[in-house]
Amino acid sequence: MYYFVEPPRILSWVDAVAGGGRGTEEVATAVPFGTTGQTLDVWRPAGDHPTTSRPVLIFYYGGGWVHGDRGAYAFAARAYAKAGFVVVVPDYRKVPSVRFPAFLQDAAEAVKWTRDNIAGYGGDPTRIATAGHSAGGYAAIMLPMDPHWLTAIGVDPHIIKAAVGLCGPYDFFPYDKKRSIDAFKGVVDGPATQPIHYARAGLAPMMLVTASNDTQVRPYNAVNLTKALKKAGSPVEFREYQGLSHEDVAMALSVPFRGKAPALSDSVSFLKRVLK
């Protein structure tokens, strides 16, 4: 019998061996949140007192709305915790069990849980940012752009003070890939599912990261949204890492592959500047 272990989990193991966990601690595991039985993990710098008031980052992992789980992305959580953040990594429901907007609703519920509980883990609920890779980048950017998902559960959308999208899809309608077709099957208003549809003035500062060799989520997603945000007058920073693939950008958050691109240092610098 053969068992498949997804690459992100292997990367987390390798990252741990390479010392990625030094200086961090996982202070909560499989904490229930929301109304659908989802769970989340919380990481922070090692030795922090619970009354410490650090900036907070909610990190949404990728996987095409089909794969992934919070434990496999410990390498990303450790990276940002080591940089000084209290990090929340939530799970969310996947295709084919659900379609849009279930995974986005779960992402919003994670923000609500963070608002209500993160102070008990040393995080500052007035300094919350979102970040994510690929499908996780969609959630990280969509939540502060379309206020509906947070207001629907009694959360002020302005609670998200900054957002980082790593190779996320923001301008992909009409759907032309199997994963997006499956994930958004049955949607009546396709353009309304697109972050770019909500570009306007007054949004939280954003950093959009892409890679020149990304064939899964084409760079035009970040390029087009950057142009739309600038035109609307909202603050946005753009990074394109040359020669990298879709997976390379996520891998660059880990200790063994950090030399691939400054994805971690660029995003940390941006977040700390905005959340000062």
Q: Nearest-CA neighbor of 68 among 8, 123, 137? A: 8
Q: What is the mean pLDDT of residues 231-259?
A: 98
SS3 198: helix
Task: Give pLDDT tens digits for 45-68.
Answer: 999 887 889 999 999 999 999 999
Neighbouring C-beta atoms of residue 32, cutoff 10 Å: 11
Strands 86-90 and 123-133: unpaired
Residue type, 141: I
Contacts 24+ apart (CB under 8 A), 93-98: 93/36, 93/38, 94/63, 94/65, 94/66, 94/67, 94/68, 95/65, 95/66, 95/179, 95/182, 95/183, 96/66, 96/182
Helical H segments across the chain, by residue range: 7-17, 74-82, 102-117, 135-145, 148-151, 178-183, 220-232, 246-251, 263-274
For the chain, the average pLDDT equals 96
Residue type, 104: L
- What's the distance, CA 42 to chain centroid? 14
SS3 19: coil
The pLDDT of residue 170 is above 90: yes
User: CA-CA distance, 222 to 225, in Å (whole number)?
Assistant: 5
Residue 51 pLDDT: 81
User: CA-CA distance, 271 to 57, in Å (whole number)?
Assistant: 9
Listed range (50-54, 157-161, 180-184, 203-207) with the worst mean pLDDT: 50-54
The pLDDT of residue 3 is above 60: no
Task: Give pLDDT tens digits for 122-131.
Answer: 999 999 999 9
Strands 160-166 and 123-133: parallel
Residue type, 127: R
Residue 249 pLDDT: 98
Query: Which domains can be identified in the chain, with CATH numbers?
Result: 7-274 (3.40.50.1820)
Return the bridge partners of 35, or none. none
Report yes or no: 204 and 130 within 8 Å, Cβ to Cβ.
no
Residue type, 276: K
How sure is the predictor about 2, in pLDDT bands with cuts at 50, 70 and 90? very low
User: CA-CA distance, 6 to 183, in Å (whole number)?
Assistant: 20
Model pTM above 0.85: yes
User: CA-CA distance, 38 to 100, in Å (whole number)?
Assistant: 16
Report yes or no: 78 and 100 within 8 Å, Cβ to Cβ.
no
Report yes or no: 82 and 23 within 8 Å, Cβ to Cβ.
yes
Residue 102 pLDDT: 98
Residue 5 pLDDT: 57
